[in-house]
Amino acid sequence: MSTILRQHAEELFAQELEELKKQDTNKIPANWVLSPQSVVTYLMGGKLKNGFEITPKYIGNKRLMEIAVATLTTDRALLLYGLPGTAKSWVSEHLAAAVSGNSTLIVQGTAGTGEDAIRYGWNYARLLAEGPSEKALVETPLMRAMKDGKIARIEELTRIGADVQDALITVLSEKTLPVPELNIEIQAVKGFNVIATANNRDKGVNELSSALKRRFNTVILPVPDSIEEEIDIVKRRVESFEKTMELPAEPPALQEIRRIVTIFRELRSGVTADGKTKLKTPSGTLSTAEAISVVNSGLAMAAYFGDGQLKAHDIAAGIIGAVVKDPVQDRIVWQEYLETVVKPREEWKDVYRACRDLGI
């Protein structure tokens, strides 16, 4: 088993990608590893003609994945847009892995991301010693993607300052990256494109300019439609985590995952599952990603400080930590939910006691 904590998608699912490649009979665009149809199969899962099973990477509307893949065959870049925790980065990574065989050409957007992280930088020791030259140029992941005809990923595009965001306009519209200091330009090779992710819920978000928006085709990734869909997503991701971390714990019972997902969905929507009780909503997003995190941390608690079986007292702290982001307002929301919704549910008595024991 690999000692790497988190393998890249193209490494972790190398066998699936290889099987898809072997059986791919559709037209493959220049510098793509798979045809668009096979990329969608890789994302959505399915059984190949030889019986090989492809595991689903995205559980949701297949049409959204078809639109995303089709966009990458055009001259428009792809913007995966949605609330935090709707699998934007996950989909971005797997798209890049299936299209280019390389998901590592990534720029992580932050408030401190500068133009040199997007366009190019300089090796200043060499620059001072030799003056401006191509050898002194430090290539960014975006520049390497242009040269090699690969997919570049830009995570959290809206966290990058507006003036830095606009450095992308020439690249996306002209497929060219000018280097005026050397009087040269880098022209994109066929197969190059950009996948960006963005959300509008977190603090510190910078709106995209209309000029930049026009260079992207936007695909909005929604929260899971049904509770069963969300439970399936959590279950699959937790199984992957447990396998990677080699936790000495039993796989979580489906009822424990269901309870966590139910709590998150009810607080997220502001109404109980039966539609009878209206609820106050907390300040956090309570996304599927956070539900996965709660189960994972609960498994770690059960493995090392419990009997190896996930129980209510293993997940209580994780649930409260996810819900109570604002110590004043969210605390009131949680206490009201605990007393009016959790307490009356006979099968949830253990969750109620575990949460009450924490005194929050």
Q: Where are the domains of the chain?
A: 9-220, 227-357
Q: What confidence category does residue 6 fall into, taking pLDDT thresholds of 50, 70 and 90? A: confident
User: Residue 293, Cβ neighbours under 10 Å: how many?
Assistant: 19
pLDDT tens, residue by residue, 170-191: 999 999 999 999 999 999 999 9
The pLDDT of residue 83 is: 86
The pLDDT of residue 171 is: 96
Rg of the chain, C-alpha, whole Å: 23
Give the Cα separation of 34 and 25 in Å (integer). Answer: 10
Q: What confidence category does residue 244 fall into, taking pLDDT thresholds of 50, 70 and 90? A: confident
The pLDDT of residue 204 is: 65
Strand partners, 137: 122
Residue 279 has pLDDT above 80, yes or no: yes
The pLDDT of residue 359 is: 73
> Mean of the pLDDT values across residues 243-263?
92
Q: Which residue has the tokens 């690969």?
A: 150
Q: What confidence category does residue 207 fall into, taking pLDDT thresholds of 50, 70 and 90? A: confident
> Mean of the pLDDT values across residues 237-251?
89
Q: What confidence category does residue 203 fall into, taking pLDDT thresholds of 50, 70 and 90? A: low
Q: Worst-scoring range by mean pLDDT, 29-38, 75-84, 175-184, 242-251?
A: 242-251
Q: Is the pTM of this model over 0.95?
A: no
Q: How far apart are the first and last CA of the chain?
A: 41
Among the listed residues 282, 319, 292, 271, the one whose alpha carbon sits nearest the alpha carbon of residue 201: 282
The pLDDT of residue 240 is: 87
pLDDT tens, residue by residue, 87-102: 999 999 999 999 999 9
Task: State the chain's mean pLDDT as an integer.
Answer: 94
Are the beta carbons of 72 and 195 closer than 8 angstroms?
yes
The pLDDT of residue 315 is: 96
The pLDDT of residue 1 is: 56
Q: What confidence category does residue 117 fall into, taking pLDDT thresholds of 50, 70 and 90? A: very high
> Mean of the pLDDT values across residues 60-70?
97
Answer whether CATH 3.40.50.300 is correct for domain 9-220. yes
b (16+ CB within 10 A) / e for 348-358? beebbebbeee
Among the listed residues 272, 293, 290, the one whose alpha carbon sits nearest the alpha carbon of residue 340: 272
> Mean of the pLDDT values across residues 135-164?
95
Checking DSSP bridges between strand 53-54 and strand 46-47, what pairing results, if any?
antiparallel
Residue 337 has pLDDT above 80, yes or no: yes
